[in-house]
């Protein structure tokens, strides 16, 4: 495949290494130093763009690709207030947009486990739920996109929860999310249901970026011929 990397930080470089091992071609690497080079590409010379850039540039990068017939696999978080605009652009241009807050297969199974547990806990009002996420110090946004997805999974499946909030102070209807930034931690997410008599915890710990990068590349390989707005449920058929 002819792959355009949009964002060339640690994730972009990890994806590049795996893609080259598998025989794919990286047509270019776009980052903040050469953003103008993006204008050289369109659907005739790129099969897919894998976008792991920055929250401040993600929307413009994705918009350009969709308007120029380049299918997009995006994993950037922190820009999702504009996600509906991207969906509209994608549909208007009959494009292909695949977004996931986390491409790890293990994390996506964890999402489903989280939703199931939230539904099971709904009748038991003696438990309060909270979340903690830990990432490396270079991560720009907090809470993480994965933490937001987990919180949304609880809210959808437990009628007693209406929103999430960053920090510890919250109402009974709100899920508190504590964000920590430590060293080079790839990503840890802990959900705890606490009562006076016991705690129930589920936890996902990433050991490296390899799982995220492998998942993003597998999605890119799966994407040709697909149209519209897609996500990990479509890919995994969960």
For the residues 39-64, what does the mean pLDDT come to? 96
The CB density around residue 186, as the number of other CB atoms within 10 Å, is 18
pLDDT value of residue 139 = 86
pLDDT value of residue 96 = 98
Active site residue 139: yes
Q: In terms of Cα–Cα distance, which of 130, 146, 138, 133 is closest to 215?
A: 146
User: pLDDT at residue 58 above 90?
Assistant: yes
For the residues 137-156, what does the mean pLDDT come to? 92
CA distances from 200 to 94, 95, 117 (A): 45, 43, 10
Indicate the pTM of the whole model: 0.79
Could you tell me the two tokens for 96?
């292909």
Contact 16, 39 (CB under 8 A): no
Q: In terms of Cα–Cα distance, which of 193, 172, 171, 187 is closest to 114?
A: 193
* 143 burial type by CB count under 10 A (0-12 exposed, 13-18 middle, 19+ buried): buried
For the residues 157-182, what does the mean pLDDT come to? 91
Q: In angstroms, how far is CA 125 from the centroid of its own chain?
A: 31
Active site residue 180: no
Confidence of residue 238 (pLDDT cuts 50, 70, 90): low
For the residues 28-34, what does the mean pLDDT come to? 94
Of the residues 135, 161, 189, 204, only one is catalytic, namely 135
Domains belonging to the chain, first-starting first, are 2-103+210-236 (3.40.50.720), 105-205 (3.30.360.10)
The CB density around residue 101, as the number of other CB atoms within 10 Å, is 22
Of the residues 13, 82, 139, 226, only one is catalytic, namely 139
């Amino acid at each position: 495949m002819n792959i355009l990397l949009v964002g060339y930080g640690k994730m972009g470089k990890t994806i590049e290494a795996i893609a080259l091992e598998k025989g794919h071609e990286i047509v270019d690497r776009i980052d903040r130093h050469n953003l103008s080079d993006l204008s050289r590409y369109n659907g005739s010379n790129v099969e897919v763009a894998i976008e792991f850039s920055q929250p401040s540039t993600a929307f413009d990068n994705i918009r350009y690709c969709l308007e120029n017939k380049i299918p997009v696999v995006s994993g950037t978080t922190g820009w999702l207030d504009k996600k509906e605009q991207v969906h509209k652009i994608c549909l208007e241009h009959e494009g292909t947009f695949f977004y996931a807050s986390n491409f790890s297969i293990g994390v996506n199974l964890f999402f489903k486990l989280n939703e199931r547990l939230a539904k099971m806990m709904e009748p038991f009002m003696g438990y309060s739920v909270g979340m903690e996420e830990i990432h490396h110090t270079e991560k720009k946004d907090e809470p993480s996109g994965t933490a937001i997805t987990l919180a949304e999974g609880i809210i959808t499946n437990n009628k007693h929860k209406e929103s999430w909030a960053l920090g510890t102070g919250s109402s009974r209807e709100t899920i508190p999310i504590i964000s920590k930034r430590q060293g080079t931690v790839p990503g840890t997410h802990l959900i705890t249901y606490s009562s006076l008599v016991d705690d129930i915890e589920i936890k996902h710990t990433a050991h490296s970026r390899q799982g995220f990068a492998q998942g993003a590349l597998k999605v890119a390989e799966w994407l040709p011929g697909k149209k519209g707005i897609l996500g990990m449920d479509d890919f995994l058929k969960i």
